[in-house]
Copies of this chain bind each other. A is one copy, B any other.
């Protein structure tokens, strides 16, 4: 990732490193900017929230990070695994808010059909299922 930055005359500052570490240590989670701010503060107390936002935007542009929105009023970020790796997908419980990931990638065919019909050049997709998780079903 250092090379990703260097390629555009960007710098690897301690703040950026700290943020990367947090993101790496919380893989498979969906952190809000504020979550990341608080966590990063532990290792680097002087950091400001603006730096968090600026850094996350930068990382997202570089493809190192994915920004997600689950409709809870704030953006959520995660480290972007596998470069080309088609994004994993999410199961969201509408009762307790649990977010579970899964990795089936059965969308290729559908993607091809859509691309052909719409003449879109598709670069990515986002698939989510909403419903009730096992536990919440039990409680109902």
A interface residues (Cβ-Cβ under 8 A, vs B): 67, 69, 71, 75, 91, 93-94, 100, 102, 104, 106-107, 109-111, 113-115, 117-134, 137
Contacts and interface: CB of A to CB of B under 8 A. Distances in A.
Contacts of A114: 91, 102, 104, 129
Contact of A123 (B100, B117, B125, B130): B130
Given A120-B131, A124-B130, 16 more contacts: A67-B71, A69-B69, A71-B75, A91-B114, A104-B110, A106-B109, A107-B110, A114-B129, A119-B134, A120-B129, A121-B131, A122-B129, A124-B129, A125-B128, A126-B128, A127-B128
A127 B91 CA distance: 12
Q: Which of A107, A127, A132 neighbours the largest number of chain B CB atoms within 10 Å of its CB?
A: A127
Contacts of A106: 109-110, 113
Nearest to A90: B126
Contacts of A110: 104, 106-107
A91 to B, nearest CB: 5
Contacts of A118: 91, 100, 102, 134
25 contacts: A67-B71, A69-B69, A69-B71, A91-B118, A93-B120, A100-B120, A102-B114, A102-B118, A104-B110, A104-B114, A106-B113, A107-B110, A114-B129, A115-B131, A118-B134, A120-B132, A120-B133, A120-B134, A121-B137, A122-B129, A122-B131, A124-B130, A125-B127, A125-B128, A126-B130
